[in-house]
């Protein structure tokens, strides 16, 4: 009985494990699908706000293009889910086919076994089989054989039933996956239709916006000028920090050099004093001198830059920078609520208009009014500054890495503050004259090198 239960459990485990591996991939894709649907919901709301604004041009273009990109990514995610389910279904069908063949083979062997030994099912046949033994030893062996054969046949029947039950479970799960696949197929078709509708809306909206081409180009020109001024200010502040850290490193080096020189002078004086005395008195004076003027070695904090002209870090800052680097791709989103990236890193060419091009040193994230910007990692607030077009900005240093949070209306921190990952730094500015536009500009830099934040964030 125990063996039968164990076999049934084993077969169930095989079924669960086989599906479990596939389910892990499907669950990851399902999570991605839900996140994309959430982003589409956010962009829908932001688009509605944008339509209420008289300054529709660039903002609406960015939102439309981002929503189309998300919808295409969603359709691809659905395709991936369906592909995974197809493979899972095919694997399970093949496994069921193999197990069914094995089951039929067991059933056939069981039937043959019963047929060949049917005469022993009668009690008189069993008795004659036992009594016809030549001696007691053979009689004992025949009794044991009949008992073991009966148990074996009984066990074999139970194993067949256990296999049948396990196959029923597998077939039930298979049907469930097929139903899930059909649901995804319907959902994918729905998203395909929504994408076509969105593309149609995009074309009509872009035609309307195109009539404001001069306004659009003027808006972009102003944005470029403000971005250039903003980045010059950042580079200036970073250079000031580099110079200040270098000055501290030089001061520490000079202090260490003076301490070393003083130690050498003290040692030379002690040696000179020893040479003037006898060995006996010298030993006493050495003991006395050692007791009266102990040598205290001061260990200075050593600052060092990883590259020529780079920021000279302390050991703790170097450790923090290493930790920041190891968390690439896992940093939290820099907004405390829901948000969507409407301005991507680098040069972005508009698919519809050759004259519409933007260049970003970071990313732009649109979110809901009242949302806070938050630090993506532990660090120290190195600067808080104000510039036209970006309102108040906060720079946080993580060793040789720097994160920048711009366009804040309120700031909760000040220069020199230690901050933790996910700590709120300030309230993102909301432009009530532009459809409640609430947009954070976010940058990541390694020394002066500009990095793509999307590669670092856990999205």
Q: Does residue 447 contact residue 311 with C-beta atoms inside 8 Å?
A: yes
| Residue 340 scores a pLDDT above 70 | yes
Distance CA 247, CA 241 (A): 10
| Residue 113 scores a pLDDT above 70 | no
Domain locations along the chain: 2-210, 242-313, 319-455
| Residue 86 scores a pLDDT above 70 | yes
Q: Which of 175-179, 202-206, 422-426 has the lowest average pLDDT?
A: 202-206
| Structure confidence at residue 309 as a pLDDT band (50, 70, 90) | confident
| Structure confidence at residue 414 as a pLDDT band (50, 70, 90) | very high
| Residue 415 scores a pLDDT above 80 | yes
Structure tokens at 172: 């039930």
Classify burial at 96, counting beta carbons within 10 Å of its beta carbon; exposed 0-12, middle 13-18, buried 19 or more: middle
| Residue 417 scores a pLDDT above 90 | yes
pLDDT tens digits for 321-337? 999 999 999 999 999 98
Tokens 């839900």 locate to 34
Count CA atoms within 13 Å of residue 313 on its CB side. 23
Mean per-residue pLDDT of the chain: 77
Average of pLDDT values for 202-211?
68
Distance CA 268, CA 186 (A): 89
Quickly count: other Cβ atoms within 10 Å of residue 135's Cβ: 8
| Residue 109 scores a pLDDT above 60 | yes
Bigger pLDDT: 231 vs 137? 231
Bigger pLDDT: 312 vs 221? 312
Distance CA 435, CA 86 (A): 45
Bigger pLDDT: 214 vs 332? 332
Tokens 């604004």 locate to 53
* Cβ partners under 8 Å of residue 107, min gap 6: 160
pLDDT tens digits for 132-177? 666 777 776 766 766 666 666 666 666 677 777 777 777 777 787 7
Bigger pLDDT: 175 vs 107? 175
Average of pLDDT values for 38-50?
77
Which H, E and C letters describe the chain, residue by residue?
CHHHHHHHHHHHHHHHHHHHHHHHHHHHHHHHHHHHHHHHHHHHHHHHHHHCCCCCHHHHHHHHHHHHHHHHHHHHHHHHHHHHHHHHHHHHHHHHHHHHHHHHHHHHHHHHHHHHCHHHHCHHHHHHHHHCCCCHHHHHHHHHHHHHHHHHHHHHHHHHHHHHHHHHHHHHHHHHHHHHHHHHHHHHHHHHHHHHHHHHHHHHHHHHHHCCHHHHHHHHHHHHHHHHHHHHHHHHHHHHHHHHHHHHHHHHHHHHHHHHHHHHHHHHHHHHHHHCCCHHHHHHHHHHHHHHCCCCCCCCCCCECCCCCCCCECHHHHHHHHHHHHCCCCECCCECCCEEEEECCEEEECCCCCCCEEEECCEEEEECCCCEEECCCCEEEEEEEEECCCEEEEEEEECCEEEEEEEEEEECCCCCCEECCCCEEEEECEEHHHCCEEEEEEEEEECCEEECHHHCECC
| Structure confidence at residue 69 as a pLDDT band (50, 70, 90) | confident
Core vs surface per residue 283-303: b (16+ CB within 10 A) or e: eebeeeeeeeeeeeeeeeeeb
The confidence score (pLDDT) of residue 27 equals: 76
The confidence score (pLDDT) of residue 187 equals: 85
Distance CA 319, CA 32 (A): 33
φ/ψ of 404, rounded to 5, equals -125, 130
Tokens 């230690």 locate to 418
* Cβ partners under 8 Å of residue 395, min gap 6: 234, 237, 381, 382, 383, 384, 385, 402, 403, 404
CATH architecture, domain 319-455: Distorted Sandwich (2.70)
Core vs surface per residue 166-179: b (16+ CB within 10 A) or e: bbeebeebbeebee
Bigger pLDDT: 404 vs 118? 404
| Residue 288 scores a pLDDT above 70 | no
Q: Which of 52-56, 223-227, 284-288 has the lowest average pLDDT?
A: 284-288
Angle at 454 between CA 459 and CA 437, to 5 degrees: 80
């Amino acid at each position: 009985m125990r063996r039968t239960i164990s076999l049934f459990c084993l077969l169930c485990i095989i079924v669960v494990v086989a599906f479990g591996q596939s389910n892990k991939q499907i669950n990851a894709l399902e999570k991605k699908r839900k996140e994309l649907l959430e982003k589409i919901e956010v962009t829908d709301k932001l688009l509605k706000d944008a339509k209420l604004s008289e300054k529709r041009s660039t903002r609406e273009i960015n939102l439309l293009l981002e929503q189309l990109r998300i919808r295409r990514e969603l359709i691809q995610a659905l395709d991936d889910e369906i592909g995974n389910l197809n493979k899972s279904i095919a694997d399970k069908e093949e496994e069921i086919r193999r197990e069914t063949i094995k089951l039929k083979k067991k059933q056939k062997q069981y039937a043959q076994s019963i047929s060949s030994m049917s005469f022993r099912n009668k009690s008189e046949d069993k008795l004659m089989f036992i009594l016809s033994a030549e001696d007691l030893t053979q009689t004992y062996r025949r009794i044991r054989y009949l008992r073991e054969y009966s148990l074996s046949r009984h066990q074999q029947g139970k194993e067949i039933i256990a296999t049948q039950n396990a196959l029923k479970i597998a077939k039930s799960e298979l049907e469930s996956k097929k139903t899930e696949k059909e649901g995804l197929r319907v959902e994918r078709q729905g998203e395909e239709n929504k994408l076509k509708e969105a593309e149609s809306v995009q074309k009509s909206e872009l035609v309307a916006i195109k009539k404001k081409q001069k306004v659009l180009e003027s808006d972009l020109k102003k944005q470029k000028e403000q971005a250039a001024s903003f980045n010059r200010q950042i580079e200036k502040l970073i250079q000031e920090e580099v110079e200040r850290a270098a000055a501290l490193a030089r001061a520490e080096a000079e202090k260490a050099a003076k301490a070393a020189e003083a130690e050498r002078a003290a040692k030379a004086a002690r040696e000179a004093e020893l040479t003037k005395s006898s060995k006996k008195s010298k030993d006493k004076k050495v003991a006395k001198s050692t007791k009266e003027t102990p040598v205290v070695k001061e260990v200075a904090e050593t600052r060092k830059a990883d590259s020529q002209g780079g920021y000279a870090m302390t050991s703790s800052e170097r450790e923090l920078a290493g930790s920041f680097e190891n968390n690439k791709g896992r940093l939290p989103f820099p907004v405390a609520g829901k948000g969507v990236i409407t301005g991507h890193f680098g040069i972005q060419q508009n698919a519809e208009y050759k004259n519409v091009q933007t260049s970003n040193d970071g990313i732009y994230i649109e979110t809901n009014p009242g949302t806070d910007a938050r630090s993506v990692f532990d660090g120290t607030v190195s600067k808080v500054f104000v510039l036209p077009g970006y309102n108040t900005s906060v720079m946080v240093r993580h060793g040789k890495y720097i994160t920048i949070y711009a366009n804040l209306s309120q700031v909760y921190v000040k220069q020199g503050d230690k901050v933790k990952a996910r700590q709120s730094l300030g309230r993102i500015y909301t432009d009530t004259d532009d459809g409640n536009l609430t947009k954070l500009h976010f940058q990541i830099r390694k020394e002066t090198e500009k990095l793509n934040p999307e590669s670092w964030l856990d999205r």
